[in-house]
Structure 1
Amino acid sequence: MDRAASTYVEETGFGFWFLRSHVWQHHVLRVAVDDLCGLIDSPLPVAPVVLDAGCGQGKSFSLLQRAFAPSRIIGLDADPHSLDCSRAEAQRLGLDVQLIASDCAAIQLPDASVDMLFCHQTFHHLVEQEQALAEFWRVLKPGGLLLFAESTKYYIDTWVIRWLFRHPMEVQKSAAEYLAMLRQQGFEFSERNVSYPYLWWSRSEDFGLLERWGIRKAKPFGQRNETLVNAAVRKPLEPA
């Protein structure tokens, strides 16, 4: 099938199946949305336009609807098969979701047209990350909110993830490097707006089994390589 991005890295069959599973929706997506909501420290816009950049199979739509009561949800993905699944999911939910076959590095939306942009576990799939972040900045309104949730290179570059999934390994970054990218683009945030979840599925190599069995102790925050980073960051308001 034709992809909307020439740099698209096609997911494995297992990966495509996993992204429609209960584990993905309940233990990954739901947890991330709840955590991101807790990182927002200013009033939310009323009836916002929400863009899901890398919407995959649409499993986020119900969560975004519940959390933000948007006037409109826009789902963007480079994979036509995923968009077909998103369309079916929106119909199942009774939601009128606008779907766009688009590369995150060249979003087919006007400037300052989005109140909130949800980018969950998408960025590590993108080769042109700087261009994508510049596009996020462009389509967000002044004061708009970017909800950014990512796995870091310390999770992606493990044997089990390499075996089960497919990613562009040359662009993987640490939590600190992702946050530095956000700041360099101009997004504003403080430590209050950032979290480093250490969830069972993100424990590199063994999914936390050795810790659960008491064979190994978990390293505390500050003494481990973070595998996840969530951030609720804002595009500043334009000067009056």
Structure 2
Amino acid sequence: MSTQYLSKNYVEETKFGFWFLRSHTWQHHVLRVAINDLRSLFSEPLPVAPVLLDAGCGQGKSFQYLQHVFAPQRLIGLDADPHSLELSKTEAARQGLAIELIGSDCATLEVPDESVDILFCHQTFHHLVEQHRALKEFYRVLKPGGYLLFAESTEAYIDTWVIRWLFRHPMHVQKSAEEYLEMLREQGFEFGPQNVSYPYLWWSRSSDFGLLERWGLRNPPPVGQREETLVNCVARKPFVSAAP
């Protein structure tokens, strides 16, 4: 492909990966499930008519779910791949949604300071090489009291043979669930145990995709006795900034 990406560190996805990100499986079993889970992790009432930024919106398949769950007054999609943004534009038109699209690297967001109520980052962070810069940017653009909706696959899942074969990721930046959460804390985000979940979904299993459990041949190990493959967190920027 000859696409001119808007990030100097962009890791181009495989053809299979690009196809998968517009599949029904991705939309219904991954995006929808993650957004519903993140919704359940809020400790306070949802912001009313928020400005919502989808950082790494890809092909726009999240838009309908974000609109339904959070009812934003402004919904902004941001991605570093111009081709994905074109597909997002088509998807928004198909859904009849008014979406603002921005071509930008997450490490240098083309978004004003303290202008966003909710920042949705779903399965994007593990694609980013400059993760610390991106997280600092997320913090910058959120209003005081704004929310980061963070949903990620961990190194335990990304660094498996099937994922490395089918998809492309910058392997040197992959992290565990606790390492991702510690990054959020270090940046100044606030959250408690009630704002974090560790989904153990079939598609995230590192070996058998949960088939042995589906067939009743074994029970899933409980939290604390397994290496987490997913972490979801609703983290809040404090009203009084404590960021470094």
Q: Structure 1-normalised TM-score?
A: 0.98
Q: Do residues 47 (structure 1) and 49 (structure 2) align?
A: yes
State the match for 1:74 in structure 2.
76
Letter of the 1:232 partner, please give it: V
1:166-205 matches, within 5 Å, as 166-205=168-207
Cα separation, 2, equivalents of 1:188 and 1:220: 26
The structure 1 residue matched to 2:4, chosen from 2, 7, 10, is 2
Question: What secondary structure does 1:99 align onto?
Answer: strand
- Per-residue CA deviations over 1:162-221 (Å, capped at 9, x if unaligned) read 000000000000000000000000000000000000001111121011222234442221
Letter of the 1:57 partner, please give it: Q
- Per-residue CA deviations over 1:13-69 (Å, capped at 9, x if unaligned) read 000000000000000000000000000011222110000000000000000100111
The count of corresponding residues between Structure 1 and Structure 2 is 239
Cα separation, 2, equivalents of 1:14 and 1:107: 28
1:93-108 matches, within 5 Å, as 93-108=95-110
Q: Do residues 230 (structure 1) and 226 (structure 2) align?
A: no
Question: What secondary structure does 2:108 align onto?
Answer: coil
State the match for 1:13 in structure 2.
15
1:127-138 matches, within 5 Å, as 127-138=129-140
Long gaps (5+) in structure 2: none
Cα separation, 2, equivalents of 1:229 and 1:173: 11
Question: What secondary structure does 1:232 align onto?
Answer: strand
State the match for 1:109 in structure 2.
111
Question: What secondary structure does 1:214 align onto?
Answer: coil
Give me the identity figure in percent: 72
Q: Do residues 25 (structure 1) and 30 (structure 2) align?
A: no
Question: What secondary structure does 1:86 align onto?
Answer: helix
Cα separation, 1, equivalents of 2:85 and 2:158: 24
Cα separation, 2, equivalents of 1:7 and 1:143: 31
Letter of the 2:71 partner, please give it: A
Q: Structure 2-normalised TM-score?
A: 0.96
State the match for 1:139 in structure 2.
141
Letter of the 1:33 partner, please give it: I
Letter of the 1:139 partner, please give it: V
Cα separation, 2, equivalents of 1:161 and 1:152: 12
Letter of the 1:210 partner, please give it: L
Letter of the 1:48 partner, please give it: P
State the match for 2:90 in structure 1.
88
The structure 2 residue matched to 1:165, chosen from 140, 164, 167, is 167
**Runs of 4+ in structure 1 over 6 Å off:** none
Question: What secondary structure does 1:105 align onto?
Answer: helix
Long gaps (5+) in structure 1: none
